[in-house]
Protein backbone atom coordinates (compact mmCIF):
# COMPACT_ATOMS: atom_id res chain seq x y z
CA UNK A 1 0.00 0.00 0.00
CA UNK A 2 1.20 3.52 -0.72
CA UNK A 3 0.88 4.41 2.97
CA UNK A 4 3.43 1.71 3.94
CA UNK A 5 6.21 4.23 3.47
CA UNK A 6 8.80 2.54 5.69
CA UNK A 7 8.20 -0.93 4.25
CA UNK A 8 8.48 0.37 0.70
CA UNK A 9 11.64 2.30 1.54
CA UNK A 10 13.28 -0.76 3.08
CA UNK A 11 12.38 -2.88 0.06
CA UNK A 12 13.75 -0.28 -2.36
CA UNK A 13 16.97 -0.09 -0.37
CA UNK A 14 17.29 -3.89 -0.37
CA UNK A 15 16.79 -4.01 -4.14
CA UNK A 16 19.02 -1.01 -4.92
CA UNK A 17 21.55 -0.77 -2.04
CA UNK A 18 24.12 1.30 -3.93
CA UNK A 19 21.67 3.71 -5.55
CA UNK A 20 21.33 7.17 -4.00
CA UNK A 21 17.55 7.62 -3.72
CA UNK A 22 17.85 11.35 -4.36
CA UNK A 23 18.97 10.58 -7.91
CA UNK A 24 15.89 8.48 -8.70
CA UNK A 25 13.00 9.97 -10.64
CA UNK A 26 9.56 9.53 -9.12
CA UNK A 27 8.35 7.89 -12.33
CA UNK A 28 11.03 5.21 -12.06
CA UNK A 29 10.35 4.63 -8.38
CA UNK A 30 6.62 4.34 -9.08
CA UNK A 31 7.25 1.77 -11.83
CA UNK A 32 9.44 -0.35 -9.55
CA UNK A 33 6.91 -0.31 -6.71
CA UNK A 34 3.80 -1.19 -8.71
CA UNK A 35 5.70 -4.02 -10.45
CA UNK A 36 6.08 -5.93 -7.16
CA UNK A 37 3.72 -8.92 -7.24
CA UNK A 38 2.63 -8.34 -3.64
CA UNK A 39 1.84 -4.65 -4.19
CA UNK A 40 -1.95 -4.53 -4.20
CA UNK A 41 -2.74 -0.81 -3.98
CA UNK A 42 -4.10 1.22 -6.87
CA UNK A 43 -1.16 2.31 -9.07
CA UNK A 44 -2.96 5.62 -9.59
CA UNK A 45 -3.20 6.14 -5.82
CA UNK A 46 0.24 7.67 -5.54
CA UNK A 47 1.04 11.34 -5.76
CA UNK A 48 4.11 13.52 -5.45
CA UNK A 49 3.72 13.87 -1.67
CA UNK A 50 3.58 10.09 -1.12
CA UNK A 51 6.48 9.40 -3.47
CA UNK A 52 8.55 12.10 -1.81
CA UNK A 53 7.87 10.56 1.62
CA UNK A 54 8.97 7.17 0.29
CA UNK A 55 12.09 8.71 -1.25
CA UNK A 56 13.03 10.45 2.02
CA UNK A 57 12.53 7.25 4.03
CA UNK A 58 14.59 5.36 1.47
CA UNK A 59 17.28 8.05 1.73
CA UNK A 60 17.43 7.52 5.50
CA UNK A 61 17.92 3.78 4.93
CA UNK A 62 20.63 4.57 2.40
CA UNK A 63 22.44 6.91 4.79
CA UNK A 64 22.25 4.42 7.65
CA UNK A 65 23.93 1.67 5.65
Distance CA 62, CA 22 (A): 10
pLDDT at residue number 42: 97
The third-level CATH classification (topology) of the domain covering 5-64 is Arc Repressor Mutant, subunit A (1.10.10)
The structure's pTM equals: 0.94
pLDDT 10s digits, 23-62: 999 999 999 999 999 999 999 999 999 999 999 999 999 9
pLDDT at residue number 33: 98
Instruction: Count CB-CB contacts under 10 A for residue 59.
Output: 16
Yes or no: say if 32 and 15 are a contact pair by the CB < 8 Å rule: yes
Q: Alpha helices of 1-65 — where are they, by DSSP H?
A: 5-15, 26-34, 48-64
Amino acid sequence: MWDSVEDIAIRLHEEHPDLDPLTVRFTDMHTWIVAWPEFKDDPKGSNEKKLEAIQMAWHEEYQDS
